Amino acid sequence: PFTTTLPDTAGLAERATAALEACGAARLPDDGGAPGRARTPITGEELFRLDFGTAKTTEQAVTAADEAFRRVWRDTPAPVRGQLVRRLGELLREHKQDLADLVTIEAGKIRSEAAGEVQEMIDVCDFAVGLSRQLYGRTMPSERPGHRLMETWHPLGVVGVITAFNFPVAVWSWNTAIALVCGNTVVWKPSDTTPLTALACDALLRRAAADTGAPEGLHRVVLGGREVGEHLVDDPRVALVSATGSVAMGRAVGPRVSARLGRCLLELGGNNAAVVAPSADLDLVVRGSVFAAAGTAGQRCTSLRRLIVHEDVAEEVTERLAGAYRQLRERIGDPFDDGTLVGPLISERGHGAMQDALDRARAEGGTVVTGGGRVGEDAAPGAYYVEPALVRMPGQTPVVEEETFAPILYVMTYRTFEEAVELHNGVPQGLSSALFTRDQAEAERFVSAAGSDCGIVNVNIGTSGAEIGGAFGGEKETGGGRESGSDSWKAYMRRATNTVNYGGGLPLAQGVEFL
Ligand code: UN1
């Protein structure tokens, strides 16, 4: 069933152009670069062509950002830098709908999730403005008389930001708002599937810079694929590469940056699970799981992919989930339609990966309880809409240990809590996790050192939809990076330890005597 009619591509192209113009990005870049294009997963068709960057334009972008850093930005007081981000936050509020439209057009997110993503940008700007007055260093007691021991935090330089299609604007904002108040400048390579959202953000930041007297070179977008990304990764002037994407991408980027002893912040795949204890409130389980597993068509790095359910409640949970999934089936289609809950997958490749995983799951003893099929291919042969799939698995087989970036939820059972935690941690990724329980001691065990091994550990909510105030990121193959809130800003700065002697004498530390 396909309950909506789809908008036509020409209409979407017009809508995208209007949003770009409203954000001040009317002129698509025409710098003689490589041929590129903008596309929409809503119809699976091309919106229009535009120029992508090249190694040369990337080099120029880094030069501009490096100069803005050295000449102006690193010496600008942090609270003044905060004024730039404050202005950006105002412009994001003003253009929330324009950006959300572009997110829907390019990434296929439903309206409420697209608006939520822009809200995430606004929130992190607020956070960063506050932070601009709180880049605290410590003062430690010196062991020597007449000495002060302290630390100072300084900016790093140019930060290279590489982002993925699924959060085309929020992840940029986490990195950029914080990097800028920390005194860095930014060169951004967005996913080559979401160039328009990037041009719109860049235009708004340019305006914020012009309005607050910040140097225009402090931010550059370079559109394109591998060539552009590799140049950014290899340029020694890029002090920190913050990259979000697949584990494969991280394996390519990490060693290259490390080879030149640059810094890296990696935000890679997740294979997130929720454990459902026998005491759990099953209403919460069902609502929390459906949003986490099928929201964004399963294309969040925090999407719920594994449900580890106590055997006493497994049947009931599976049945209730299947019921909810059957309702979802009526709500797949045009993400601009207010009734839609599940928009398109990003691409044919995403769909292929989903079908592959379902075939393997069946071969490994799984049963597809509901969903998995493609819908709407008559309406749009180039678009990939799918019914979210619920799959019962006999255990944590190889396919379950992999992240498939699509709406597949594997359901497994457990008997003891120890077994649940073991299954939970028994995958290579370590981003987000959840436990549904009413047993307080069990909840504490899950968040303890011997519990979940992930960077995000939740109780009685799903795995996705984190707030910006906490540090975001994960362990193991997820890459170890932390972005956004808490003290993640420290990754964007370098720490200098200062010893200042005001006493006149020269006592040596550790009581050493010399001359
Ligand atoms: C991602 O999928 O790359 O926690 C980021 C969440 C969002 C961010 C996801 N706030 O689901």
Encode the chain (515 residues) as per-residue pLDDT tens digits: 566 689 999 999 999 999 999 999 965 655 667 899 999 999 999 999 999 999 999 999 999 999 999 999 999 999 999 999 999 999 999 999 999 999 999 999 999 999 999 999 999 999 999 999 999 999 999 999 999 999 999 999 999 999 999 999 999 999 999 999 999 999 999 999 999 999 999 999 999 999 999 999 999 999 999 999 999 999 999 999 999 999 999 999 999 999 999 999 999 999 999 999 999 999 999 999 999 999 999 999 999 999 999 999 999 999 999 999 999 999 999 999 999 999 999 999 999 999 999 999 999 999 999 999 999 999 999 999 999 999 999 999 999 999 999 999 999 999 999 999 999 999 999 999 999 999 999 999 999 999 999 999 999 999 999 999 999 999 999 999 999 999 999 999 999 999 999 999 999 999 999 98
Spatial separation of the C-alpha atoms in residues 104 and 113, rounded to whole Å: 9
Residue 170: both structure tokens together: 């929020």
> Among candidates 181, 204, 207, which has minimal Cα distance to 76?
181
Cβ 61 vs Cβ 47: under 8 Å:
no
Query: Given ligand 1 and candidates 117, 175, 472, 482, which is best to mutate, with the most ligand atoms within 8 Å of its CB?
Result: 472
Q: How far lies 120's CA from each of 84, 127, 170, 404, 433, in Å?
A: 18, 10, 6, 25, 21
Cβ of 301 closer than 6 Å to ligand 1, yes or no, is yes
Q: Within the chain, what is the greatest distance between any pair of CA atoms?
A: 88
CA-270 nearest atom, ligand 1: 2
CA-464 nearest atom, ligand 1: 11
**SS3 state at 5:** coil
Cβ of 465 closer than 6 Å to ligand 1, yes or no, is yes
Residue 222: both structure tokens together: 């370079």
Query: Given ligand 1 and candidates 173, 191, 302, 458, which is best to mutate, with the most ligand atoms within 8 Å of its CB?
Result: 302
Cβ of 471 closer than 6 Å to ligand 1, yes or no, is no
Q: What is the pLDDT of residue 34?
A: 87
DSSP per-residue string spanning 177-189: HHHHHTT-EEEEE
**SS3 state at 94:** helix
> Among candidates 266, 272, 246, 245, which has minimal Cα distance to 464?
272
Spatial separation of the C-alpha atoms in residues 401 and 357, rounded to whole Å: 11
Helix or strand run (H / E) with residue 468: none
Q: How far lies 32's CA from each of 51, 56, 57, in Å?
A: 7, 11, 9
Cβ of 242 closer than 6 Å to ligand 1, yes or no, is no
Spatial separation of the C-alpha atoms in residues 78 and 170, rounded to whole Å: 22
Q: How far lies 492's CA from each of 109, 157, 183, 405, 471, in Å?
A: 30, 9, 9, 29, 13
User: Is residue 103 classed exposed, middle or buried when 0-12, 13-18 and 19+ CB atoms within 10 A define those classes?
Assistant: buried
Spatial separation of the C-alpha atoms in residues 470 and 153, rounded to whole Å: 21
Q: What is the pLDDT of residue 49?
A: 93
Catalytic positions are: 267, 301
Helix or strand run (H / E) with residue 16: helix 9-22
- Ligand 1 atom 6, closest CA: 465
Q: What is the pLDDT of residue 29?
A: 57
Residue 263: both structure tokens together: 């810094």
Instruction: Tell me the pLDDT tens digit for each residue of 46-105.
Output: 999 999 999 999 999 999 999 999 999 999 999 999 999 999 999 999 999 999 999 999
> Among candidates 261, 251, 184, which has minimal Cα distance to 477?
251
The residues pairing with 432 across neighbouring beta strands, listed in sequence order, are 456
What pTM did the predictor assign?
Answer: 0.97
Query: Given ligand 1 and candidates 121, 124, 167, 169, which is best to mutate, with the most ligand atoms within 8 Å of its CB?
Result: 167
**SS3 state at 79:** helix
